Structure 1
Amino acid sequence: MARYTGPVCRLCRRDGAKLFLKGMRCDSAKCAFERREGPPGQQTPRRGKMTNYGIQLREKQKLKHYYGVLEKQFRLYFQKAERSKGNTGEVLMSLLERRLDNVVHRLGFGVSRAQARQLIAHGHITVNGRKCTIPSALVRAGDVIRVKNRANSLDSVRSAQSENSKMIPDYLAVTESQVPEGIVGRLPAAEDVSLPIETHLIIELCSR
């Protein structure tokens, strides 16, 4: 399955949660999630309650849509978390939060993860002084994320910074300099994720 390119507001309504896929528009009165109640599509009466499988699947889909990963990518993250020491759910959330596109977004360099992915893919971002064009690259503690010192790169990021009003998480820090730069102070933990998620439901589903 290819990456979803349809209206992203439908994903929020389907998952029953605001995923902030359109940046600051999601905080405005134009947000479709708040203007329209219920999931998208023609509505038909539902018989009974949603099954346990349906609840678990919806939680997994919510997490995939939030970070913009596909099913195969998600399975690889889950397998890596399962092989790691510690709580599988917490390790899974940490892995997803460590994605470079997520870190660039959380630093405020992009108003959404989609814009952050585009910045990375087009070569506007460097990691420890080297250009990185892989949005799924995992950052490590001490990594320096920097915007390239060229006009079009700086204009895009400064425009995003002026629109972005989100708080930067504790594990990241933005340095005061002419060229936007951020440092990964530590590896993110499950509590650093801004999306409320029931990880045990996802673990139950993926462990079947």
Structure 2
Amino acid sequence: MARYTGPKTKISRIFGEPILGNGKYLTKNSNPPGQHGAARKRKQLGEYGLQLKEKQKAKYTYGVLERRFRNTFEEASRMRGVTGENLIRLLESRLDNVVYRLGMAPSRPAARQLVSHKHIMVNDQVINIPSSRVKPGDIISFKDKSAANTSLTSQVRGKNPKFGWLDWNESEQKGTFIAYPERENVPENIKEQLIVELYNK
């Protein structure tokens, strides 16, 4: 199963943001990667460079490789409404992202692992494809055997209250995907319009 397995702090240093992990090492060394770090003279990025960088940031943030990301963009462009906002909605509705947003896993890579190892059910059916799309009304929960595993359930921290498009039932350890989120409610620092401009060249 294709995914990024390289150094996470290096990626965070490229963008200057903790897009992978909690960013605790980024506070120690926020210089761009490379032999000379901050001392290296770096040229100003042009229009294409800024657009490409924004696309790369979105890909690393959601853990999506190039072909899957391109297919998601093409699907977003066929939908009604603003293409950039549709792209963010589709990325947010990925099963691994929803598991992460519900607080069932501490990070997106951890959520991806939960899904691929068959610990997660959607509407009482085990789904092991992280890129599966969740629809409004779908209920996400642990498999019964996994719910009894304290090493898994101990990592559950519950949903952040600012994610209003999700609902989390603490007593039943179940979450509901209520609706696709509006762009202003998604906290990711991604300029999706630059991605649209890049693919429309």
Query: Which residue in the other structure is 2:14 paired with?
Result: 14
Query: Which residue in the other structure is 2:31 paired with?
Result: 38
User: Whole-Å Cα distance in 2 between the matches of residues 7 and 136 of structure 1?
Assistant: 22
Kept in 2, the 8 Å contact 1:56–1:204? The answer is yes
Query: Which residue in the other structure is 1:141 paired with?
Result: 136
Which 4+ runs in 1 deviate beyond 6 A? none
Superposed, which structure 2 residues align to 1:148-159 within 5 Å?
148-150=143-145, 154-159=149-154
Matched, 1:4 2:4: yes
Query: Which residue in the other structure is 1:73 paired with?
Result: 68
Q: Aligned AA for 1:18?
A: P
3-state SS, counterpart of residue 39 of structure 1: coil
Stretches of structure 1 lacking an aligned partner (at least 5 in a row): none
User: Whole-Å Cα distance in 1 between the matches of residues 176 and 198 of structure 2?
Assistant: 35
User: Whole-Å Cα distance in 1 between the matches of residues 162 and 131 of structure 2?
Assistant: 20
User: Whole-Å Cα distance in 2 between the matches of residues 169 and 118 of structure 1?
Assistant: 22
Query: Which residue in the other structure is 1:61 paired with?
Result: 56
**2:102 pairs with one of 86, 98, 107:** 107
Kept in 2, the 8 Å contact 1:88–1:203? The answer is yes
Kept in 2, the 8 Å contact 1:64–1:74? The answer is yes
Kept in 1, the 8 Å contact 2:102–2:159? The answer is no
Kept in 1, the 8 Å contact 2:168–2:174? The answer is yes
User: Whole-Å Cα distance in 2 between the matches of residues 151 and 129 of structure 1?
Assistant: 13
User: Whole-Å Cα distance in 2 between the matches of residues 128 and 95 of structure 1?
Assistant: 19
Stretches of structure 2 lacking an aligned partner (at least 5 in a row): none
Query: Which residue in the other structure is 2:80 paired with?
Result: 85
> 1:196 offset after TM fit, Å?
1.6
Superposed, which structure 2 residues align to 1:175-194 within 5 Å?
175-177=169-171, 179-194=172-187
Task: Indicate the RMSD between aligned Cα atoms, in angstroms.
Answer: 1.8
Query: Which residue in the other structure is 2:165 paired with?
Result: 171
> 1:167 offset after TM fit, Å?
4.3
Q: Aligned AA for 1:129?
A: D
Aligned length: 197
TM-score by length of 2: 0.91
Query: Which residue in the other structure is 1:94 paired with?
Result: 89
In terms of mean alpha carbon deviation, does 89-98 or 147-156 score higher? 147-156
TM-score by length of 1: 0.88
Q: How many percent identity over aligned positions?
A: 42
User: Whole-Å Cα distance in 2 between the matches of residues 80 and 151 of structure 1?
Assistant: 34
Kept in 2, the 8 Å contact 1:109–1:116? The answer is yes
